[in-house]
Amino acid sequence: MRLAAVLRRSTRALAGVACSCALAAPAAAQVADPHYGDALFQFFQERHFTSVTTLMVSQHFERLPWHEDDAEVLRGGLLLSYGLHREAGQIFAGLIERGAKPAVRDRAWYYLAKIRYQRGYLAEGLDAITRIEGQLPGALEEDRALLHANLLLARGDAPAAAAVLQRIAPASAAAPYARYNLGVALVRGGDGSAGRALLDELGRAPAPNEELRSLRDKANVALGFAALKDEQPEQARVALERVRLDSPQASKALLGFGWAAAALKQPKAALVPWTELAGRDAADAAVLEASIALPYAYAELGAYGQALARYQDAIGAYAREQRALDESIAAVRRGTLVDALAAKNPGEEMGWFWALRELPEMPHAGHLAPVLAGHAFQEAFKNYRDLLFLAGNLKGWQDSLGVFGDMVDTRRRAFAERLPEFLSRSRELAMAPLKARRDALAAQLQQAESAADGQAFADTREQALIERLDRVQTALKQSGGDPEAAAARERTRRVAGALEWQLAQRHAERLWAARKALAATDTALAEAREREAALVKAQRDEPARIAAFAQRIPPLAQRITALIPRVDTLAAEQKREVQELAVAELQRQKDRLNGYTVQARFAIAQLQDRARLAQAPGGPDAAR
């Protein structure tokens, strides 16, 4: 739990260097292309791999007409976060070259400055950052100031860096960390008084939450040790007294407090913190140092016997700790640490602001805190974890690509199987006779219209009546001028007139209906023609389309196949790299222990010499 807290704080403290790319996108973006919004949606949830790949897909399909430049900034920022400096640099340079709008250009200059800083091109980085003309969106403005300060600091211009940092709002989350980093850098760089003033300001500042209280403790410890180095033990004591006793920094503060008392020739006062420390976990470097500091204080007080015993205890403790460190080194070399870390910290995506959250259960886990808190280790482990993610990604695609291949085969077979049936149905519905029938009907309609022929639109019943009337009229004609048929002739004439009148009445309505029906027929025929054309096109194009898909799969499969061993090899190499970083840190702990052991043996030898001299004839004890 405590280790995790240390790691969280350590990661935060590094935030000044690893500027946030979460700000590549404008805050509360106004989105005019939904696919750009889709990339942002993934991005805001820290699914950066999904974000960059979907963004690149949308760029491929040219679906981002309103956000071309924004998309490039986002892509460049995402690639930069994965360490692809070269590609990211080309993207940002391209944006500037093609004269993107000022807001985009400013963001591009910011990222170029960041790339140059990370690659050590400080003058060029400073040049880029000073080309930003306007205010950057959201918290990116704060990151700009942090980056500017880091660039100036790296160039050795601490006063200018301090001036830049002064412009960051004190309420901003990053400001205290930036001031702490600057204070430490100034002290290390030789401008002790300026650095101590910054640390002192931080060390006395109110801290409303645990994170800031912890930072305040760190500032006080840094200030205390800086004062000790400058032989100002009184000031060191003032700073170290401000560290909370339950703070992760408490051991260091107690150690320094003891050294301050010793420097003030108050070995009795030094005994108090060092005795407290000696009872703590031996994996803590401050506790180990206290183990030889305590007998030193006893010796200063003249309690040589106790001093000797304590030195011997310390040598024993160091030997045990050396063995424990050897075990830790062996465990790290076996891969236990890295495997356990990877198992405890799984992730769906490649990392960015990802940080270790869970620590593995290992013997002597206390050794690991300084190992895991190191920036270099975290970055190296992040790379290893990224490679594991990529290996999983590639294996997933290998399976999917197999499915795509099957899908293409199924489509090819289905097309081949269904085509004859479609063709036969198409032949049955031959278009030419249908078109001829339609043209004949249209001609009839035209004729009926021009002749105002009502009979042409007679329905079946009316048609039957007309035929019947024709038959009756023929029969009446054959009967000659028979006077008995006169009444029938008159009746027939009237019926025929009534029928003609009815047909004339309905002519306009029926003509309109017929025209409408002909138009519907034309539409149906046009659709049928389109379908026929589509069928012809499909017949011609679909095999080529399916073949094109089939051709695209093998090269992609080859790329996957070629990448899998590359990723696996690199993962194995990176794992060794991570392990070696951990071993190097553990080895440093061993070297420190060796140093303490030598000091303890030397002190014992001195005490023994003193005792021998005291017992020698003429010595103080001999006289007694």
Positions that interact with another protein (CB under 8 A): 25-31, 34-38, 40-45, 49, 52-54, 56-57, 60-61, 79, 82-87, 89-90, 93, 96-97, 112, 116, 119, 121, 124, 127, 350, 383, 386-387, 390, 393-394, 397, 400-401, 404, 407-408, 549, 552-553, 556, 559-560, 563, 566-567, 570, 573-574, 577
Q: How far is CA 223 from its chain centroid?
A: 37
Question: Per the structure block, which two tokens stand in for 68?
Answer: 């071309």
Answer for the pair 529, 509: CB distance below 8 angstroms, yes or no: no
Q: State which residue, 334 or 537, has the beta carbon closest to another protein.
A: 537
Please state the closest distance from residue 72 (CB atom) to another protein, in A. Answer: 15
Among 284, 288, 279, 293, residue whose Cα is nearest residue 319: 288
Q: Smallest distance, Å, CB 56 to another protein?
A: 4
Q: Apex CA 195: angle with CA 190 and CA 198, to 5°?
A: 175
Residue 2 or 559 having the CB closest to another protein? 559
Strand, helix or coil at 504? helix
Q: Which is nearer to another protein, 407 or 443 (CB)?
A: 407
Gap between the Cα atoms of 145 and 175, Å rounded? 10
Q: Give the shortest CB-43-to-another protein separation in angstroms.
A: 7
Tell me whether residue 551 or residue 587 sits nearer to another protein (CB atom).
551
Of 124 and 230, nearer to another protein (C-beta) is 124
With contact defined as beta carbons under 8 Å apart, do 153 and 161 qualify? yes
Which two three-digit tokens encode residue 54?
């979907």
Runs of H (alpha helix) within 205-266: 210-229, 233-241, 250-263
* Complex with another protein: residue 70 or 289, whichever CB lies closer: 70
Q: Which residue number, 339 or 527, has a Cβ lying nearer to another protein? A: 527
Distance in Å, CB of 352 to another protein, minimum: 12
Which long-range contacts (C-beta less than 8 Å, at least 24 apart) are formed by 514-522? 514/445, 514/448, 514/457, 515/445, 518/438, 518/441, 518/442, 518/445, 521/438, 521/441, 522/438
CB of 278 to another protein, least distance (A): 42
Residues 6+ apart with CB under 8 A from 69: 95, 100, 101, 104
Complex with another protein: residue 22 or 297, whichever CB lies closer: 22
Least distance from another protein to the Cβ atom of residue 276, Å: 44
Smallest gap from residue 544 Cβ to another protein (A): 14
Q: Which is nearer to another protein, 36 or 296 (CB)?
A: 36
* Long-range CB contacts (within 8 A, 24+) of 533-542: 535/422, 535/423, 535/426, 539/419, 539/423, 542/415
Q: Which is nearer to another protein, 488 or 557 (CB)?
A: 557
Nearest by Cα to 81 from 356, 377, 351, 393: 351
What is the nearest approach in angstroms of another protein to the Cβ of residue 354?
A: 14
**Cα distance between residue 233 and residue 307, in whole Å:** 24
Pairwise CA distance, residues 243 & 247, whole Å = 7
Residue 109 CB, nearest approach to another protein (Å): 10
DSSP single-letter state for residue 21:
S
**Nearest distance from C-beta of residue 137 to another protein, angstroms:** 11
- Min CB(578)–another protein separation in Å: 11
Residue 434 or 560 having the CB closest to another protein: 560
**Computed from CA positions of residues 192, 195, 201, 207, in that sequence, does the dihedral angle turn out positive or negative?**
negative
- Give the residue with the Cβ less far from another protein, 121 or 353: 121
80: Cβ–Cβ under 8 A, 6 or more apart, which residues? 21, 88, 111, 114, 115
How many angstroms separate the CA atoms of 203 and 213, rounded? 9
Minimum distance from residue 357 beta carbon to another protein (Å):
16
Q: Helix, strand, coil proportions of the chain in percent (round to 5)?
A: 80, 0, 20
